[in-house]
Structure 1
Amino acid sequence: MKFKVNPLFFALALALIAFGHALDFVWTMLALLFHESAHALMARARGYVVKKMVLLPYGAMMSAGENFDKTSSVLIGLSGPLCNLLLALVTLGLWWLFPSVYPYTIFFLYANLSLGLFNLLPVYPLDGSRVVLGFCKNKIKAVKGLQIAGIVCSFLFLGLFVGSFFFGLNFTFGIMAVFLFYGATFLGKDETYSSVLDVACKNYSLGVELKRVEISCDTPILRLFHYVGRQSKTTFDVVGEDGKIIRTLSEQDLKAIAVKNKLIIGIGEALKGIEKES
């Protein structure tokens, strides 16, 4: 998985540190890591591979779920915010058991509450949009509508930020406004998850590269899908300990194997199971 940090995230870090909130930034970073880890784990459980993650304030760069099935789109979308809200409840329980930790963990509670509730908004690129798309039949029109809603919402948060100058400056509204506008405007073109069950969807208009990859028998099935993409068509040569080719698999063969087996087992074990069935 490729992991990058967007400049907006560095801007958030510098702003918090400059105003004496370095510890707050640490708690925010921790809450974000829990949030995105929950997305990645749920995506993997539903048969998707995380290929790219770009960390931003209040989330990471993710697709709107155009290629997800309905259930996966909803579960993956909800997993991050629900994880944050659960952590907020755990923090409250920790205060009840150990009141002395309250001043050190108060911002962790705020970070989880703001991340969880903010990301449930049904606007692009927030997680709420993924949930909405799970119930939409025309996803192309839905994505455009959610992007417009994201831009409108960004101006609303900008208005709240400007208004906070008169009632107590609140940088959170400003960060949310920038994140929503940037996400709704620029992030719709990128895709974070690649379905392990959708290997036939190729973008031939941009050209498709032919690849050949040699793998050992103990390579997990899940690992093979890191070589599968819309702009490539990969052939896999399964080799033994002596380096000789045992079996050659196409992406369609891989798809059939993935449907019948757990993705964490080795490709060799899966092939043995198929041989026994035949």
Structure 2
Amino acid sequence: MRGAFKIATLRGIPIRVHYSFLLVLPFLAFLFGQAFRSAALAADIPPERLIGHPMLWGLGLAVALFLSVLIHELAHSFYALRKGGEVSDITLLMIGGVSRITRMPDGPRHEALMALAGPVTSLLLGGLFLGIYVLLEGARSFNLRFAFFYLGSLNIFLGLFNLLPAFPMDGGRVLRALLTGKLGRVRATQTAGAIGKGFALLFGLLGLFGGNFILLIIAFFVFMGAEAESREVLMQSLLNRVLVRELMVPRTSSVSAEDSLEEVATRMQSERRRALPVLDGGRVVGVVTLAAVRQMPAPRRGQVRVREVALPVSELTPRTTAWEALRQMGQRRLPQLPVVEDGLLVGTVTQEDIMRGLELRELEDSQRHGPWGLGPGQRESPT
């Protein structure tokens, strides 16, 4: 995700913070600080029991809330990893967190349980913090007790709010998983996405007339997320029926791991290529990209070998699905991947090749069956 920087790695999952989080943090600190003041006034608490400035407590509470959101997202991710899924990263945003799960666990049951893991974790955290609040009865610091009460309440709200069937929120993902067995994944996503857009409209109206700009932002993200995921699932359904051999270019041009970047730059210019497969001993060991060449100062390109900047890649075969190829390119941010058969380079496939194949397959399916590629009375096999 653009505009995010990494702060940690847990079980191989990069944890990132988006710049929008830093923008909303002072606002939340002020908002929570005001809550501390209001609660103290309502409880008629004497000044000597108010230890520390309310804004500092508000800032601490805002950070604690986002740590709770991180734990919520880790619950999703750890369940996905346990059931054979793949997680690219977790990013904290101004409206919460996002786990980028690049490969879902197999089967709608595991998808539903993975979606439920986050809200259940938030509810458990809420119960824990409220329990600590009760245990602190009689403590001298009003601020400390109120912080645990407020944090517990926020976590319970977070858990319940995420259970709303507003796809792609957690409740919407559970709904999609329940519908998949009857409708198939494409139509289930279409239905859940339509319901999610309805909730987005409701959130938007409530935010507009209630003056809640955070709810307006949530409405925007829910609407755009429902649209994007519906499109992605349709794309996955189409590309899983296309093999790399139907899209690849039988191009075997490559560079050696011992070539200099200066030689690579010349080859890229003459062949109009943004990436080239790298061979070592006749076997593909990675790719070298235009971006890697450009990052190296021109005077040094003659001294730097390709092996020093080559990016390792998983080998595609002609029988790999186009979706898997696109997924790997997106995950590694590569413009193309080599295609290998029996240990030999037989071609390359680019994102443009795959998108062209997608457009042609959509055209073919729309001519035969309609816009969703399913004829009257037909049902997609659930995955």
Same fold (TM over 0.5): yes
Residue 32 (structure 1) aligned to one of 46, 66, 69: 69
Report Cα offsets for 1:51-94 as digits up to 9, x if no partner.
23333323315469876312211210110100000111111211
What is the deviation of 1:114? 2.4
Show the counterpart of 1:46. 83
Seen in structure 2, the aligned counterparts of structure 1 residues 143 and 97 have a Cα distance that, compared at 3 Å, is same
Query: 2:85, 2:104 within 8 Å by CA — same for their partners in 1?
Result: no
**After superposition, where does 1:158-173 map in structure 2 within 5 Å?**
158-165=204-211, 170-173=212-215
Show the counterpart of 2:172. 129
Show the counterpart of 2:218. 176
Amino acid at match of 1:231: A
Seen in structure 2, the aligned counterparts of structure 1 residues 174 and 48 have a Cα distance that, compared at 3 Å, is same
Seen in structure 2, the aligned counterparts of structure 1 residues 124 and 232 have a Cα distance that, compared at 3 Å, is closer
Query: 2:76, 2:114 within 8 Å by CA — same for their partners in 1?
Result: yes
Seen in structure 2, the aligned counterparts of structure 1 residues 158 and 3 have a Cα distance that, compared at 3 Å, is same
Residue 230 (structure 1) aligned to one of 313, 317, 324: 324
Seen in structure 2, the aligned counterparts of structure 1 residues 50 and 132 have a Cα distance that, compared at 3 Å, is same
What is the deviation of 1:206? 6.8
Report Cα offsets for 1:19-69 as digits up to 9, x if no partner.
554334212211111101111111122122212333332331546987631
**After superposition, where does 1:120-159 map in structure 2 within 5 Å?**
120-135=163-178, 136-137=180-181, 138-159=184-205
Cα-Cα RMSD = 3.9
Give the secondary-structure state (helix, strand or coil) at the position aligned to 1:73.
Answer: helix
In 2, distance between residues paired with 1:2 and 1:186? Answer: 23
Seen in structure 2, the aligned counterparts of structure 1 residues 59 and 114 have a Cα distance that, compared at 3 Å, is farther
In 2, distance between residues paired with 1:116 and 1:41? Answer: 18
Seen in structure 2, the aligned counterparts of structure 1 residues 48 and 66 have a Cα distance that, compared at 3 Å, is closer
1:22 aligns with 2:65: no
Residue 155 (structure 2) aligned to one of 112, 118, 124: 112
Seen in structure 2, the aligned counterparts of structure 1 residues 32 and 143 have a Cα distance that, compared at 3 Å, is same
In 1, distance between residues paired with 2:102 and 2:157? Answer: 21
Show the counterpart of 2:123. 85
Seen in structure 2, the aligned counterparts of structure 1 residues 67 and 47 have a Cα distance that, compared at 3 Å, is closer
Query: 2:85, 2:101 within 8 Å by CA — same for their partners in 1?
Result: no
Residue 108 (structure 2) aligned to one of 55, 60, 70: 70
In 1, distance between residues paired with 2:91 and 2:243? Answer: 23
Seen in structure 2, the aligned counterparts of structure 1 residues 68 and 87 have a Cα distance that, compared at 3 Å, is same
Larger Rg: 2
In 2, distance between residues paired with 1:158 and 1:67? Answer: 32
Report Cα offsets for 1:185-236 as digits up to 9, x if no partner.
3455679xxxxxxxx998737759999679xxxxxxxxxxx959911899xx
Q: Count residues in correspondence.
A: 213
In 1, distance between residues paired with 2:92 and 2:150? Answer: 20
Report Cα offsets for 1:88-124 as digits up to 9, x if no partner.
1111211121234321223322331222111111222
Query: 2:166, 2:200 within 8 Å by CA — same for their partners in 1?
Result: no
Structure 2: segments with no counterpart, 5+ residues: 1-12, 34-57, 234-239, 250-275, 278-282, 287-312, 316-322, 329-342, 344-383
Amino acid at match of 1:102: R
Give the secondary-structure state (helix, strand or coil) at the position aligned to 1:231.
Answer: helix
Give the secondary-structure state (helix, strand or coil) at the position aligned to 1:90.
Answer: helix
Seen in structure 2, the aligned counterparts of structure 1 residues 103 and 201 have a Cα distance that, compared at 3 Å, is farther
**Between 203-212 and 18-27, the greater mean CA deviation after superposition:** 203-212
Show the counterpart of 1:276. none
User: Larger RCO: Structure 1 or Structure 2 (Cα < 8 Å, ≥ 6 residues apart)?
Assistant: 1
In 2, distance between residues paired with 1:96 and 1:48? Answer: 39
In 2, distance between residues paired with 1:17 and 1:32? Answer: 16
Query: 1:123, 1:129 within 8 Å by CA — same for their partners in 2?
Result: yes
